[in-house]
Each structure stands twice: as C-alpha cells, then as structure tokens.
Amino acid sequence: MSDEFYRIKRLPPYVIAEVNAMRAAARAGGEDIIDLGMGNPDLPPPPHVIDKLCEVARKPDAHGYSASKGIPGLRKAQANYYARRFNVELDPDTEVVVTMGSKEGLSSLANAITAPGDVVLAPNPSYPIHTFGFIIAGATIRSVPTTPDEEYWRALDRAMAFTVPKPSVLVVGYPSNPTAEVVDLAFYERLVAWAKENKVWVLSDLAYSELYYDGCPTPSILQVPGAKDVAVEFTSMSKTYSMAGWRMGFAVGNTQLIAALTRVKSYLDYGAFTPIQAAACAALNGPQDIVASNRALYHKRRDVMVEAFGRAGWDIPPPRASMFAWAPLPPALAHMGSLEFSKQLLTHAKVAVAPGVGYGEDGEGYVRIAMVENEQRLRQAARNVKRYLTSMGVNTPGHAVNG
C-alpha cells in the first residue's frame, strides 16, 4: 500500500541502504567488518560535557518539555561561537534556532519555505537531505555541480535563465559531504551577490566547519557583509564535539528564514531534552581543546589512510577538510560502477564504504570513505583491500605496489 503515498512515491530508492543491509547481515553472521561507510564518529564527547548532562538530568525539574527553538543559554552560546570563530554578530533571539542536528533543521526549513512545484538548486553529488528534504516538501530539484569552479557559476546562470518557475532556493555545503571540497571567502562573496541579484535564498550547510586541515580554517557565508539578507547557515555539534547521537545543531542568519523555521518547529517538536541542551552549552562555552585534538586526529587518520591505501594500489586524493575521502574507483575496476564495487569490497575485503551514486548520479565512479576507525584498523582495511585488488588482477606487475 505504501507505494500509493504521494511523498513516498517521490523518493528514489536509498542506494546506500543496500550496502548498509549487506554490512548488517555480514556482522550478524559474525564477520569483522571495518566500517568506513557511515560518518559516525568513534570518539567520545569531552568528559565535562557528559558530566553536565548527568548533573542536569538529576534535577527533578529538568524532565518536562523543553523550548522548541532552544533554551536561551544555548542560543547565546551559539551566537558567542560565531563571534569568536567568524567575527559574526548574531542576535540569539531572532537569528539563532536550535535544531535536532543539521539534518532535521534542513528538512524542517524545506517544509517551512517550499510550495509544491517550487524549484530548488542543489549540488550533485551532495548529502541526501539537501535534495530529499525538498523533494519530501514537494519541490522539484535542479542539479548544479558541487565543484566550485567557473562551470558552477555557468550552471547557476543557466538554471535562472531556463527554469520555470525560476529557482527560489540554492543549497550549498562546504566542506562538502561527500566530496570534501572547500571554498574560500571570495566564493561566498560572489554567491551572496548572485543570490541578491537573482532573489534566491541560500542555505549553507557548514557541518564540518572545524574539520579542516593544512592550516586553512573554513569560512562562513555569514562573514560576507549583507549575507544575512539572503542566507541561513546550519552547523552541527556531531563532528566538532563527537556528539552525533545527541542530535544537536543550529540554524543561524536571516531573520525571516529563522522565524519560518522556528514556527514550523513549534508545531513539530518541543525541542531536545533539556539536559542535552545544557550539555551542549558546556561544550560551546567550555574548554575548546577537543576541537583542535579531534582535528589533529582526523588529519593523522587522513594521512595514514592515503598512504596505506596508496601502497595497496588504490590512489586516494587527500581531502582538505571533513571526515571523508572522495575516492575514484581503481581504474581497472571502474567498469563495475560504485554500487557493485562497494558490494564487492564488503564481501571480499570486509571493508564497508559508501557508493558515490548514493549522493547523486554525478557521484558515479567514486566511493566515500569515512575516517571513523583508528589508524590500526585503517591499515588493516588497506591490507584487506590489497588482497582483494590482487585477486582481481589489479596488483599485477603492470600495477606494481609496495608493502
């Protein structure tokens, strides 16, 4: 019967679920799967954050309904983070709303601002909620490239010239999930000017703001003067503070969009559990050494993975940010396509990765590798991959590798 439901019919099959089901079955059968598929941090939050959660949870009055838009102290803490990190001033009352992770925030805003038939510009490949959130809300998606080069701007201009009705929303997400591409402030300056000229809202997903490498901090679109006229930005505590399961995120920026999101959320939820919000305050306001140490740890994992997989015969470009590598399939196996290659890797190398086609048709030919296992496990994954590639005739004398 469910195939009769309007919104379910509009959703394409969730390709990544196929590999996830295979991984779950293999693990249920007792196999040791090295899971580099889901971006699920394997690190704990800082002790003082857990202590605050426990402290507030013991209070008898902490268990009622919370505030849908977020408790005032948490909205203020997020405003302080933006001031400290980006030199951006935010009004905690009108320009900040707490979300249950950036995923919920994006989908709730899509429902708030989208009418059936609206056209939304979204990157391809991109994180699925960037498209599915608007599809569920009744919009039509027009894809634009993820790579922020001159072709990106030509695609935006073509979309405005030839789409009816004209697009009303543009989604961007840098550092990109899945491609790990980054942009500089000049890109956002050009984007804000374009959005104002074309009367388009910009939704920026900045979930990986603190996972940058090689000493190049990630900018925020709100650093551009006047950006708040057209843009909102989503951030998340999932990766920065290893709090993925806590579902804590924020939307900040344009007052009209924040008001729309706040109103829709007031119908949908009563906000996150108050002790979680209090602990999130402790994370944002307390010692920030975990941010630097997590960044250093992912940086080291990146270097270990690139080196070990390279020696195994699979060259992976080192990502400049995020917890992911966007890896082209080994050339000799590219004919398989990303879904079949991911299944083969799971079956024969006991390594789970995410097929690139699950992030849009332009993700074909790639897989996303999440750096969510320790260095020892990453090296083990590389050894398993090497055995698999050798069995497929990739590591032959014509494809010599070391180690």
- Per-residue H/E/C for 314-365: CCCCCCCECCEEEEECCHHHHHHCHHHHHHHHHHHHCEECEEHHHHCHHHCC
Residues 6+ apart with CB under 8 A from 164: none
Give me the pLDDT at residue 3, please: 59
CA-based nearest residue to 72, from 51, 90, 49, 98:
98
Please give the Cα distance from 177 to 125 (Å, whole number): 8
CA-based nearest residue to 99, from 69, 124, 141:
69
10 Å Cβ neighbour count for 21?
Answer: 10
Least confident interval from 99-108, 183-192, 315-324? 99-108
Averaged pLDDT of the chain: 92
pLDDT higher than threshold 60 for residue 403: no
- Percent over 70 (pLDDT), the chain: 97
pLDDT, one tens digit per residue, over 177-191 is: 999 999 999 999 999
What percent of the residues of the chain are helix, what percent strand, and what percent coil, each to the nearest 5? 50, 15, 35
298 φ, ψ to 5°? Answer: -65, -35
Residues 6+ apart with CB under 8 A from 161: none
Amino acid at 147: T
Give me the pLDDT at residue 400, please: 43
Say if residues 159 and 121 touch (Cβ distance below 8 Å): yes
pLDDT, one tens digit per residue, over 42-55 is: 889 999 999 999 99
Please give the Cα distance from 115 to 138 (Å, whole number): 6
Give me the pLDDT at residue 382, please: 97
Measured in whole angstroms, the distance separating CA 249 from the mean position of its chain's CA atoms is: 12
Least confident interval from 14-18, 123-127, 227-231, 391-395? 14-18
The DSSP-derived string for 260-313 is: HHHHHHHHH---S-HHHHHHHHHHHHS--HHHHHHHHHHHHHHHHHHHHHHHTT
pTM listed for this prediction: 0.93
